[in-house]
């Protein structure tokens, strides 16, 4: 079954095929948090969406390398460091820790790499040097280095790959030092910002003079270092398309001369009770605010996962109450299945799993995926009431749920969760055995062992256990 995703670059739903010629390894980069405050639930919608993409790819058998940067030097951060008379590391460290705690509370798998911008200054400088050498970046009178959109376009390169920008009508040629600038202007943006007194201790030496990087170049440097000059997937909220992601493309392709990213995925925004989230309206929630009101990370995750990632989502407190009751229905059903199945472990029931995968394959059609889950709950409850479900049937249903939940991540864990990648390998081994390819089956057993899992062949099928 092929997974299809909406690619902002081609403005179409496309079958996902990784760059890896073996079709297995996938590199995925999601723009991470700017650690100047607690992340709000709008931010969390985007990070839960990234987790859904990663987990779906894993269910479809891919080996994902998930990278999420930590933006720990940027205009807003520097302003607050100055206001609070603290150090950059002390200030950003507390919000980075809080972010990672919340990520866990929301049931998100931890990215494999979490590079910090401040630890990639050498890589950032190296890219800027290449851009200067290629004539698409210049040092201005203020000592800062800017990316020249005009020179870039003059080389036949395209600025405006994600959005159709009307470059003739937009204000062009202006120059901006700010990380977040007016979307009405296609401005030359800062790659390196010359040190000014307000920056305090936040500066690094460079061939262009003391200063600090701009926000956009940070992501180019960290993603290229972690995933190579061309990689599979780049994610973020829709507000990042322009200028952040356009600038990332321009800097990266300008420096390497190669296509930067194959699939760009953008998540739509979250509104609160129909309005834009804002502190002045008092509708600005962090995860901590919701936990203080008695809600759980699991309920918030569930709610954030109920709408399609490309549709604006209206967050309400009533919605959270609904999440609690929906999860209660799943928990009750799974609890009864566990009682009936005992320790039996059998192959997953294919029908439910296939319906769920079919929904995901359709550009992560989450409504259809949840519909499959709740139809399954109704059906299981009916069979339990009629006492027509056998222990083996219950075990097969549970095994299917475990794979479904390897994507949803909302189930209450009973015993060790088997990662989707391990389940996929075990299934590949079963197929190899059925095809009498025992050499391949043995090689997979060894691979599973190396990854910390033993496989036991029981009369009810293969059973996985941690080593
Ligand atoms: P930031 O920490 O501001 O760099 O934002 C982190 C991520 O949250 C980015 O991918 C933003 O696009 C995303 N984001 C910001 N506001 C919202 C919102 N209201 N709904 C969904 N995503 C958002
Ligand atoms: Zn970014």
Give 269-285 as a DSSP string: PEEETTB---TTTT---
CB 118 within 8 A of CB 81: no
Q: What is residue 180's predicted lDDT score, i.e. its pLDDT?
A: 72
3-state secondary structure 4-66: EEEECCCCEEEECCCCCCCCCEEEEEECCCECCCCCEHHHHHHHHHHHHHHHHHHHCCCEEEE
* C-alpha 272 to ligand 1 mean position (Å): 14
Residue 247 token pair: 């600038």
Q: What is residue 416's predicted lDDT score, i.e. its pLDDT?
A: 47
**Residue with CA at minimum distance from ligand 1 atom 18:** 42
3-state helix vs strand vs coil in the chain, percent to 5 = 45, 20, 35
214 ligand 1 Cβ < 6 A? no
Closest CA to 57 of 20, 8, 24, 12: 24
The minimum-distance atom of ligand 1 relative to the CA of 235 is 10
Cis peptide before 268 (omega within 30 of 0): no
The minimum-distance atom of ligand 1 relative to the CA of 71 is 4
Predicted structure pTM score: 0.88
- Give the C-alpha distances (Å, rounded to integers) separating 60 from 29, 227, 328, 372, 415: 18, 20, 28, 17, 23
269 ligand 1 Cβ < 6 A? yes
The minimum-distance atom of ligand 1 relative to the CA of 30 is 10
SS3 187: strand
- φ/ψ of 445, rounded to 5, equals -60, -45
Among the bound ligands, the one closest to the CA of 243: 2
| Beta-bridge partner residues of 192 | 145, 213
Radius of gyration of the chain from its Cα atoms, rounded to whole angstroms: 24
Q: What is residue 460's predicted lDDT score, i.e. its pLDDT?
A: 58
The minimum-distance atom of ligand 1 relative to the CA of 269 is 20
Among the bound ligands, the one closest to the CA of 219: 2
Q: What is the mean pLDDT of each run of 10 residues along the chain (467 residues)?
A: 97 98 98 95 96 98 98 94 95 97 97 98 98 96 92 92 82 74 75 95 96 97 98 96 96 97 97 79 88 95 98 94 96 96 92 98 98 98 97 97 97 64 82 89 90 77 73
Closest CA to 178 of 75, 79, 88: 75
**Residue with CA at minimum distance from ligand 1 atom 15:** 43
The minimum-distance atom of ligand 1 relative to the CA of 271 is 19
45 ligand 1 Cβ < 6 A? yes
Question: Exposed/middle/buried for 417, CB within 10 Å: 0-12, 13-18, 19+?
Answer: middle
Q: Rounded to the nearest 5 degrees, what angle is found at the Cα of 63, between the Cα atoms of 53 and 365?
A: 25
* C-alpha 109 to ligand 2 mean position (Å): 19
Q: Are strands 453-458 and 313-315 parallel, antiparallel or unpaired?
A: unpaired
Return the half-sphere exposure (C-beta side, CA atoms, 13 A cut-off) of residue 311: 13
* C-alpha 121 to ligand 1 mean position (Å): 24
The minimum-distance atom of ligand 1 relative to the CA of 35 is 2
Among the bound ligands, the one closest to the CA of 304: 1
Closest CA to 159 of 97, 242, 75: 242
Rounded to 10 degrees, what is the CA torsion of 6, 11, 14, 19? -90
Q: Measured between alpha carbons, how far is 42 from 381 in angstroms, rounded to an integer?
A: 35
* C-alpha 30 to ligand 2 mean position (Å): 7
Q: Measured between alpha carbons, how far is 110 from 119 in angstroms, rounded to an integer?
A: 19
Alpha carbon 119 to its chain's center: 21
Rounded to 10 degrees, what is the CA torsion of 227, 232, 235, 240? 90
* C-alpha 243 to ligand 1 mean position (Å): 14
Among the bound ligands, the one closest to the CA of 221: 2
For a pocket test of ligand 1, which of 37, 40, 42 has the largest count of ligand atoms closer than 8 A to its C-beta? 42
* C-alpha 157 to ligand 2 mean position (Å): 21
Among the bound ligands, the one closest to the CA of 245: 2
**Residue with CA at minimum distance from ligand 1 atom 12:** 237
- The region, left, alpha or beta by phi > 0 then psi within -120 to 50, assigned to residue 17 is beta
111 ligand 1 Cβ < 6 A? no
Rounded to 10 degrees, what is the CA torsion of 231, 235, 239, 244? -30
- φ/ψ of 184, rounded to 5, equals -85, -10
Q: What is residue 323's predicted lDDT score, i.e. its pLDDT?
A: 97
């Amino acid at each position: 079954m092929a997974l299809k995703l909406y690619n902002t670059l081609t403005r179409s739903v496309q079958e996902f095929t990784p760059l890896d010629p073996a079709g297995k390894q996938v590199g995925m980069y999601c723009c991470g948090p700017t650690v100047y405050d607690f992340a709000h639930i709008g931010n969390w919608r985007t990070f839960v969406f990234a987790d859904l993409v990663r987990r779906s790819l894993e269910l479809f058998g891919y080996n994902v390398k998930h990278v999420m940067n930590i933006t720990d030097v940027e205009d807003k951060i520097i302003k607050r460091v100055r206001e609070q008379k603290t150090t950059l590391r002390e200030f950003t460290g507390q919000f980075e820790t809080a972010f990672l705690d919340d990520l866990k509370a929301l049931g998100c798998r931890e990215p494999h790499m979490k590079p910090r911008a401040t630890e990639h200054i050498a890589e950032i400088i190296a890219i800027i040097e290449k851009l200067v050498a290629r004539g698409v970046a210049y040092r201005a009178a203020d000592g800062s280095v800017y990316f020249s959109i005009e020179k870039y376009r003059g080389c036949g390169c395209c600025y405006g790959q994600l959005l159709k920008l009307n470059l003739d009508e937009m204000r062009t040629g202006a120059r901006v030092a700010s990380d977040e600038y007016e979307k009405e202007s296609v401005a030359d943006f800062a790659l390196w910002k010359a040190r000014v007194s307000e920056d305090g201790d936040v500066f690094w030496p460079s061939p262009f003079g003391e200063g600090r990087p701009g926000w956009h170049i940070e992501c180019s440097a960290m993603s290229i270092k972690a995933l190579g000059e061309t990689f599979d997937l780049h994610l973020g909220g829709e507000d990042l398309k322009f200028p952040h992601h356009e600038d990332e493309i321009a800097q990266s392709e300008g420096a390497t001369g190669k296509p930067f990213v194959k699939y760009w995925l953008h998540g739509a925004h979250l509104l609160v009770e129909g309005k834009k989230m804002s502190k002045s309206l008092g509708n600005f929630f962090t995860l901590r605010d919701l936990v203080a009101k008695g809600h759980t990370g699991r309920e918030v995750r569930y709610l954030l996962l109920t709408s399609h990632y490309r549709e604006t989502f209206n967050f309400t407190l009533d919605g959270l109450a609904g999440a609690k009751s929906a999860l209660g229905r799943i928990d009750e059903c799974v609890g009864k299945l566990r009682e009936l199945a005992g320790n039996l472990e059998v192959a997953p029931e294919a029908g439910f799993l296939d319906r769920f995968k079919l929904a995901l394959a359709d550009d992560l059609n989450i409504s259809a995926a949840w519909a499959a889950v709740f139809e399954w709950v109704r059906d299981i409850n009916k069979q339990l009431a009629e006492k027509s479900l056998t222990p083996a049937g219950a075990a097969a249903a549970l095994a299917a749920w475990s794979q479904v939940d390897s994507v949803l991540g909302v189930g209450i864990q009973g015993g060790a969760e088997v990662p989707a990648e391990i389940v996929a390998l075990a299934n590949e081994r079963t197929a190899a055995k059925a095809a009498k390819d025992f050499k391949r089956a043995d090689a997979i057993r060894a691979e599973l062992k190396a990854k910390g899992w033993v496989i036991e062949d029981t009369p009810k099928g293969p059973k996985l256990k941690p080593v």
